[in-house]
Chain A
Amino acid sequence: MGIENGLSQTFEITGNDFSKAGSISTTVKEILQEIGIDSSVIRRAAIASYEAEMNVVMYADKGQLILTVTPEKFTISVEDEGQGIENIELAMQEGYSTATEEMREMGFGAGMGLPNIKKNSDEFEIASIPGKGTSLKMTFNLDTKKEK
C-alpha cells in the first residue's frame, strides 16, 4: 500500500453498540501496521483511537472515524452526533466522568479517555456543540528522516 498520494478511510461508529466497540480501532491499527508505520507511534494512536471510539459508543448517537495518512503524518478524526460536551475544560480533567453506574461496573468511566487522547497524540483539537455533537482531531507525526 503506497502512501505517496495519501490514503483516507472512513468508519461508521454506532452509539450504544458495545458489541462492536473497539473493532474500528483494531482495524485502524492493522492498517497502520500494514503501511509500515513505526510501532511506537501505532501504540499511541491505538490508545487515542480506542478512547475516542468508546466515547462515541458511550456518549453519542452515532459518529464517524476518519483515518487520513500522508507521508509526513496521519490524522484520526472522530466526529459524532449526540449530546455534545457542555464544558470541555471540565471533561478534559483526569477523573472527570459522567459514565453511568452500569458503564462503571464494566470498567469504563475512569475519566482518563480525553486526557490520554491528548497525551498520546502530537496534536489534539476538540470542539463541541451541546445538543449537536463533538469532534476530535488527533494528529501523529511520522519521523520521515528515519526512512530516507
Chain B
Amino acid sequence: MKLKAIIEKLNLKVLTAQEKLDKEVTGGYTSDLLSDVIANSKEGDLWITLQTHQNIIAVAKLKDLAGIVIVSNREPDEDTQKKAQEESVPLMISGERAFEISGKLYGLIGS
C-alpha cells in the first residue's frame, strides 16, 4: 500500500518529505532500540517509534525505510525535522500510542 494511503487511513500528520509519499510501504517495524531497528527492520518498512532525536533519520536512510511515525503526539526535535527534509525521509506524527498504530498498520498491510 502506498504511504499516501496509509497516512490518510491512519490520520498521520506529515512533517517532511512530501515528495516521497508515493512510496510503497511493504511492512512495519515497531521499536525504540536503534540497534534492533538497524539489525531487524526491512527495506520498505514503516518505522513506528517514540524516539524524536536526529539519529533516527540516519537509521531510516541507511535501511531504506519508507518513513518514520512518531507516536503519542511527541514532537520531533528541530534537528530531526531538518535532517529528515535534507535526506528526504518522510517523518510523521500520530496521536495514538505505538500499540494502537502498529495494530492498525498491521490491519492494513498484514504480514
Contacts and interface: CB of A to CB of B under 8 A. Distances in A.
B34 A107 contact: yes
A75 interface: no
Contact of A107 (B32, B54, B61, B63): B32
B78 interface: no
Interface in A97-136: 106-108, 110, 112-113, 116, 120
Contacts of A106: 34, 51, 53, 55
Contacts of B55: 18, 21-22, 106-108
The secondary structure that dominates the A interface is helix
Interface string B58-96: 110111000000000000000100000000000000000
Nearest to A116: B39
Contacts of A91: none
Contacts of A51: 35, 38
A119 to B, nearest CB: 8
Q: Size band of the B side of the interface?
A: 10 to 19
B33 A22 contact: no
Contacts of B79: 19
Nearest to A21: B55
Interface stretch (A5-13, A23-31, A66-74, A138-146): A23-31
Interface string A47-80: 1001100100000000000000000000000000
A22 B65 CA distance: 15
User: Closest 5 interchain pairs by CB?
Assistant: A22-B58, A112-B35, A110-B35, A107-B34, A110-B33
A112 B39 CA distance: 9
B36 interface: yes
A116 B35 contact: yes
Contacts of A23: 58
Given A22-B62, A47-B38, A51-B38, 18 more contacts: A18-B54, A18-B55, A19-B79, A21-B55, A25-B62, A26-B58, A26-B62, A46-B38, A51-B35, A54-B34, A106-B53, A107-B32, A107-B51, A110-B35, A112-B33, A116-B35, A116-B38, A120-B39
